[in-house]
Amino acid sequence: MNLKDRIVVVTGAASGIGRALAERFAQEGARGVVCADRDEAGVTAVAEAIGGVARRTDVSREEEVRDLIERTEAEVGPIDLFCSNAGIMVRGGPEAINDDWQRIWDINVMAHVWAARHVVPRMIERGGGYLLNTASAAGLLSQVGSAPYAVTKHAAVGLAEWLALTYGDQGIKVSVLCPQAVRTEMTRGKEEGVAAIDGMLEVAPVADACVRAIAEERFLVLPHPQVLDYMRRKGEDYDRWIGGMRKLNRRFNAKSPA
């Protein structure tokens, strides 16, 4: 997809990867960039800086995702590219409280479901469209220290795969963004953590990788190319891979405060 003259929606656009995507799409000549985030002041500032449109949106609520899509199509135009980017981190394992599990599930998974539910039929009716879903390398590998994050990001990748194989013949293209550590609010203060083992990227190169993938209509977006090697190793010898991850887990626990 060529982004020039396209109408694009980006959730989680007030900061981090979302902000970088919105800025990059504007540079590519998108006709309209709709910036959505629950941080109204932050997303308004981003939209004003790029000549876009700001929408306060809590993606953990289906009605707000639906309203974002309906208002965009009514007031800006038909959505060509929907970037379901907002996400959160919750640490811990099965002991994490139910409210935390539900909140991360709604934001990291169901927000993608609701976006697809309400925008894909519109896209199919007019001949096609594009979805860019932000997941994580944790969705292809795992996340030491956070079962909720690992589980929801695996689910996000699984949903993106399903959307691609189910709607591809109807003109729906899908890319899924799976970086390792990126310098955002989520990773602030964790620059030496396990996730940053292959280096922490700034947001601009991540946005650049997304633009290239969209231009090539490529499913996997891997700003950290090492992830592909890790995926291959995992597939070749699952038990050995788990052994390596156990070592990483011990390393993480040794560094964690008591």
Domain ranges for the chain: 7-225
Q: Where are the alpha helices (DSSP H) in the chain?
A: 16-27, 40-50, 62-75, 98-105, 111-125, 147-167, 203-216, 226-236, 238-255
**How much is the average pLDDT of 124-137?**
97
How far apart, in Å, are the Cα atoms of 96 and each of 91, 93, 171, 245? 7, 6, 40, 21
Per-residue pLDDT tens for 181-200? Answer: 888 666 655 555 555 577 77
Burial of 258 (0-12, 13-18, 19+ CB in 10 A): exposed
Residue of 149, 167, 230, 238 marked catalytic: 149
Render pLDDT for 144-172 as a digit per residue (tens, 0 to 9): 999 999 999 999 999 999 999 999 999 99
* SS3 category, 239: helix
Q: Which residues contact 175 (CB under 8 A, 6 or more apart)?
A: 130, 131, 132, 133, 160, 210, 213, 214, 217, 218, 219, 220, 221
CATH 3.40.50.720 fits 7-225, yes or no: yes
Identity of the residue numbered 54: A
Asked if 149 is an active-site residue, the reply is yes
